[in-house]
Amino acid sequence: MGLQGKTVLVTGGSGGIGRELVRAFGAEGARVAFTYHRDDDTARRLEQDGNGRVRALRHRLDEEGGAGRILRAVTEWAGPVDVLVNNALFQPENPELQVCDLAASPWRDMLRWNIEPAVEFSSAALRQMRKTGWGRIIQVSSSLVSQGKAGFEFYGAAKSALHGFNRSLAFSAGRSGDILCNVVVLGLTRTENNEVKPWFPEYRAEFLAGSPLGRLADAAQVSKMVVVLGSAANQVMTGQEIHLSSGTVGK
């Protein structure tokens, strides 16, 4: 894949998909830094399993100047970022927010923290990639953008904004060297975290009803495809939305 010795940054690296992204890039010989919010135990395990080639960095999505701080820490540890995967998301305990009762839901936070950090990390990483002439930026999105679901108006809006941002980012980045920017669109994915959530059985049934494969992708399978997009094996795909959702793209 041409990732041996490359520096990868995965935001939200301690979650169900995030930890598989860290492992998948690490398996290709990359040095992988990842951000996490509060799961110290998982962060420490990932570092230990990485044998010195994985670094955990605590970060809050609402941290002022956080993207710059993280990029500086990664650069000091392993050099400029070659691959950025914006995987972190903001999600309240109850994922469904009521659009008719704005006063009772953190809807502004849902909008801000699911787009602004991705913009900031992309900007900071692109500055480094322009200097080296090579880079891959991957935004992690959701099939809810096209499927829709009651209660996910704000999350869907934020992720839709991410698609628009990335499309133009690809033009800005592509004129600066071999720098490619794509969105991966995930459906409901089987992870250790998701399978214990009370809403999982209902969501699983809804998702499978529209899936040609009749099954969910798991986090390890999805992560392998992200690695391909973030590697030297990808030489032409940029500005695209790649669905990794077991074939479910809409109702």
CATH architecture assignment, domain 7-243: 3-Layer(aba) Sandwich (3.40)
Instruction: Look at residue 92 in the predicted model and tell me its pLDDT.
Output: 67
Interval 167-185: pLDDT, tens: 999 999 999 899 999 999 9
> What are the tokens at 14?
């301690």
Instruction: Look at residue 251 in the predicted model and tell me its pLDDT.
Output: 44
Q: Which residue from 151, 158, 149, 142 is spatially nearest to 96, judged by alpha carbons?
A: 151
> What are the tokens at 57?
């960095």
Helix axes 16-27, 219-229, angle to 10 degrees: 50
User: Is 194 in a helix, a strand, or coil?
Assistant: helix
Interval 123-167: pLDDT, tens: 999 999 999 999 999 999 998 898 888 888 999 999 999 999 999
- In this prediction the pTM is 0.92
For strands 54-58 and 31-36, give the pairing: parallel
Task: Let me know: does 103 contact 29? Beta carbons within 8 Å.
Answer: no
Q: Whole-angstrom Cα distance, residue 181 to residue 211?
A: 27
Beta strands (DSSP E) in the chain are 7-10, 31-36, 54-58, 83-86, 134-142, 178-186, 241-244
Low-confidence ranges of the chain (pLDDT < 70): 92-96, 199, 249-251
Helix axes 116-132, 66-78, angle to 10 degrees: 40
User: For the chain, which residues make up each domain, given as ranges?
Assistant: 7-243
Instruction: State CA 154 to chain mean position distance.
Output: 18
